[in-house]
Amino acid sequence: MPTIKKRLNITLDRDMERDINLLAKHQKQPMAAVGANLLREALELQEDLAWNRIVEERMKKKVKFIPNSDALWK
């Protein structure tokens, strides 16, 4: 059955295969779906870390902060 989703071949060591297999059985999902979800979560964590680095750099600068109550939100 054709799909529009891109496929990715990865090689798992025995421990990773076992862990993903156990998780898949627990969640009653295919291993591929569990693997895709784990990759999605890892990408979100990496994105959060990148944003955090940006925020930390901005916090080092001497700036004047405006309280939320003083900001004009329209």
Number of domains in the chain: 1
Q: Is residue 37 included in any domain, yes or no? A: yes
Does residue 46 fall inside a structural domain? yes
| Domain-located, residue 50 | yes
Task: Name the pTM for this structure.
Answer: 0.71
What is the per-residue DSSP string for 49-61? HHHHHHHHHHHHS
Read off the pLDDT of residues 20-74 as tens digits, 9 standing for 90 and up: 999 999 999 999 999 999 999 999 999 999 999 999 998 888 888 888 888 877 6
Of all helices (H) and strands (E), which one includes residue 33?
helix 31-60
Residue 74 forms part of a structural domain: no
> Does residue 12 fall inside a structural domain?
no
Q: What is the pLDDT of residue 65?
A: 80
Q: Evaluate if residue 5 carries a pLDDT over 90.
A: no
The domain of 46 spans: 32-60
The SS3 call for residue 15 is helix
pLDDT recorded at residue 71: 83
Distance CA 38, CA 17 (A): 13
